[in-house]
C-alpha cells in the first residue's frame, strides 16, 4: 500500500506532464483522422486532469493521502 500512497502524494509530478503529452498526441492523432488512438490519449489526459484536480481539492500531498487512508479504514 505504500506505493499507492507514494503515487497519490506525488500526483503533480506525473499528472502535469501526462496532461501535456497526452493532450498533444490526442490533438495530433485527431488532426490525422486516427480517432481511436486520439480518444485513448484523450482519456489518459482526462484521467490525469481529474487526478490533479483531486490532489488540489483534497489539500495537497498530506491531505490527499489522509483522505485515502480514511476511506480505506471505513467498513461497508
C-alpha span between 65 and 76 (Å, rounded): 20
* Residue 71: pLDDT over 90: no
C-alpha span between 74 and 2 (Å, rounded): 18
Average pLDDT of the residues in 53-58: 94
Predicted local distance difference test score (pLDDT) of residue 76: 65
How far lies 61's CA from each of 56, 57, 69, in Å?
9, 11, 13
pLDDT in tens, 6-31: 999 999 999 999 999 999 999 999 99
Phi, psi of 34 (to 5 degrees): -110, 80
Amino acid at each position: 500500500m505504500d506505493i499507492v500512497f507514494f503515487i497519490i502524494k506525488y500526483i503533480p509530478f506525473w499528472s502535469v506532464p501526462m496532461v501535456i503529452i497526452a493532450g498533444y498526441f490526442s490533438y495530433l492523432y485527431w488532426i490525422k483522422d486516427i480517432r481511436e488512438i486520439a480518444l485513448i490519449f484523450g482519456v489518459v489526459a482526462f484521467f490525469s486532469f481529474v487526478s490533479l484536480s483531486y490532489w488540489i481539492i483534497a489539500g495537497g500531498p498530506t491531505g490527499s493521502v489522509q483522505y485515502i487512508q480514511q476511506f480505506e479504514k471505513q467498513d461497508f
